[in-house]
Chain A
Amino acid sequence: NAGVMQNPRHLVRRRGQEARLRCSPMKGHSHVYWYRQLPEEGLKFMVYLQKENIIDESGMPKERFSAEFPKEGPSILRIQQVVRGDSAAYFCASSPRDTYEQYFGPGTRLTVT
């Protein structure tokens, strides 16, 4: 059973470009979480999604950031018009229904030049 997959593992974007980060949850998991880890900081919650629904986006920046988890395919975290401050590691976690335990992917390291 493959774990949570994230790609790309490393992403370099110039200021103003768009970044798309993908997350494939573990098989059978219908809940996805995105966290951001800024340099020298802990992980901060961004958004919690179920299939085709955003349940809690209280940690998402109000502009430029969006997330989706379609019926088919991976969850996508999209950052438009990236700025240097967006450079961070973005982690995805998934969980089965009605359980606390979140399984984390290896993360995507985004560098904005």
Chain B
Amino acid sequence: AQSVTQPDIHITVSEGASLELRCNYSYGATPYLFWYVQSPGQGLQLLLKYFSGDTLVQGIKGFEAEFKRSQSSFNLRKPSVHWSDAAEYFCAVAPSLTAGNKLTFGGGTRVLVKP
């Protein structure tokens, strides 16, 4: 069965500093990988996704993520965080791209941004 691990439950970062959120997955084949952000009281918004090709993918809001097959990782990064980036971030995997694909989520990482 596939699983997703986000080792960091909470991360505090100063505004303007860089941010990296870790995600490791366990899956038999190369899965389809996603990062979502959840602002307080809101639903999840897709930040970026990886299917194949270039292992460095760009997303919205200045985020990027790098797929490393050898480490089964898909870490999310942002060079300079803004106060509005305070939210919870979820890594997810799916076995296929067809409709009906069940997303398997990690436990989430809550990001706090200090002024």
Contact = CB atoms under 8 A, between A and B. Distances in A.
Contacts of B67: none
A59 B105 CA distance: 13
B105 A106 contact: no
A42 B90 contact: yes
Contacts of B101: 100
B51 to A, nearest CB: 9
B53 interface: no
Chain B interface, >50% SS class: loop
A98 B36 CA distance: 21
A3 B44 CA distance: 12
A84 interface: no
Contact of A42 (B41, B46, B107): B107
Given A42-B90, A42-B108, A3 B103 contact: no
Contacts of A3: 43
A56 B46 contact: no
Contacts of B106: 42
Interface stretch (A13-21, A43-51, A60-68, A69-77): A43-51
B63 interface: no
A56 B102 contact: yes
A95 B101 CA distance: 11
A55 to B, nearest CB: 6
B29 interface: no
Contacts of A43: 44, 90, 103, 105
Given A40-B107, A42-B108, A107 B43 contact: yes
Contacts of A45: 102-104
B41 A100 contact: no
A100 B43 contact: no
A55 B45 contact: no
A107 B42 CA distance: 7
B98 A100 contact: yes
Q: Please provide the 8 A-B residue pairs with the shortest distance between their CB atoms, ordered closest to farther.
A: A42-B105, A104-B43, A104-B44, A100-B97, A45-B102, A43-B105, A42-B107, A106-B43
